[in-house]
């Protein structure tokens, strides 16, 4: 057993993720590629093996239970592939459309996806523009997003991409509950209804929230607005 495999098994067990231990080899490959690419492109500030397993891999895998079978998923602001790559590894039944404005990071995401045979398509684009694309607007079963923006603004970027009956799944840190309260009216305006939440701590002690916001009605055509407008005047 490799040092990575032993650490992966220990950390995933500590985080209640025993069901995914069989994916250890693919996660080891991902970690190796991440460290290799990070020497050329700033993909992540976290490079320590155990920290990557906890903060990137285990954290992202926790969202898998919120995604239905065979779902079409869009990841807004995927960065270096989180949660896209861990999700695609543990959920081969889903298809992920990974979006980020930084093309260099998407080269990494696309390369690893091809190497591992993952169902991932990448797009270098801005979410507020995709939200007005007729081929993409309200077409996805699930939108996921992690560490991109506060929930009121993030909802405006994400909910227009989700079909009615689908869900926006937001991954937030320790301030998550305050963000949810702050975003209540924005979520309602955009056709969403909070339907489930999970508050937990990773094995390193860091607090996390996952919010599932169901898309219950069509988002008004004028949303999303330009990103500068979203930042300066979030929906209240």
Domain boundaries, the chain: 68-232
Dihedral sign computed on CA atoms, order 128, 212, 112, 92: negative
Tens digits of per-residue pLDDT, 225-236? 999 999 999 998
The two beta strands, 192-201 and 207-215, are antiparallel
Neighbours of 181 (CB within 10 A): 9
Say if residues 159 and 213 touch (Cβ distance below 8 Å): yes
Q: pLDDT digits over 46-70, tens only?
A: 999 999 999 999 999 999 999 999 9
The CATH number that domain 68-232 falls under is 3.40.50.150
Q: How much of the chain, in percent, has pLDDT values that exceed 90?
A: 96
List CB contacts of 193: < 8 A, sequence separation 6 or more.
187, 213, 214, 216
pLDDT digits (tens, 9 = 90+) for 82-120: 999 999 999 999 999 999 999 999 999 999 999 999 999
8 Å CB contact between 55 and 49: no
Query: In whole angstroms, what is the distance from residue 5 CA to residue 201 CA?
Result: 22
pLDDT tens, residue by residue, 211-225: 999 999 999 999 999
Taking the alpha carbons of 106, 109, 113, 114 in that order, is the dihedral positive or negative?
positive
Note the pLDDT of residue 115: 98
In this prediction, residue 1 carries a pLDDT of: 63
């Amino acid at each position: 057993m490799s040092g990575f495999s032993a650490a992966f098994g220990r950390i995933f067990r500590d985080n209640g993720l025993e069901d995914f231990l069989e994916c250890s080899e693919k996660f080891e490959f991902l970690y190796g590629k991440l460290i290799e690419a990070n020497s050329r492109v700033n993909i992540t500030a976290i490079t320590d093996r155990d920290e990557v397993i906890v903060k990137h891999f285990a954290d992202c895998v926790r969202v898998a239970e919120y995604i239905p079978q065979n779902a079409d998923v869009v990841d807004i602001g995927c960065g270096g592939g989180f949660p896209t790559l861990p999700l695609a590894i543990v959920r081969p039944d889903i298809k992920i459309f990974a979006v980020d404005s930084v093309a260099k990071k998407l080269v990494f995401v696309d390369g690893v996806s091809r190497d591992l045979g993952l169902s991932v398509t990448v797009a270098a684009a801005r979410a507020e523009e995709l939200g007005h694309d007729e081929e993409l607007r309200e077409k996805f079963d699930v939108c996921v997003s992690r560490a991109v923006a506060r929930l009121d603004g993030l909802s405006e970027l994400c909910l227009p991409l989700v079909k009615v009956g689908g869900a926006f799944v937001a991954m937030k840190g320790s301030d998550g509950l305050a963000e949810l309260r702050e975003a209540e009216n924005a979520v309602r305006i955009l056709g969403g209804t909070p339907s489930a939440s999970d508050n937990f701590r990773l094995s390193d002690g860091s607090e996390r929230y996952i919010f599932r916001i169901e898309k219950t009605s069509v988002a008004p055509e004028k949303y999303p607005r330009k990103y500068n407008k979203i930042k300066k005047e979030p929906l209240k």
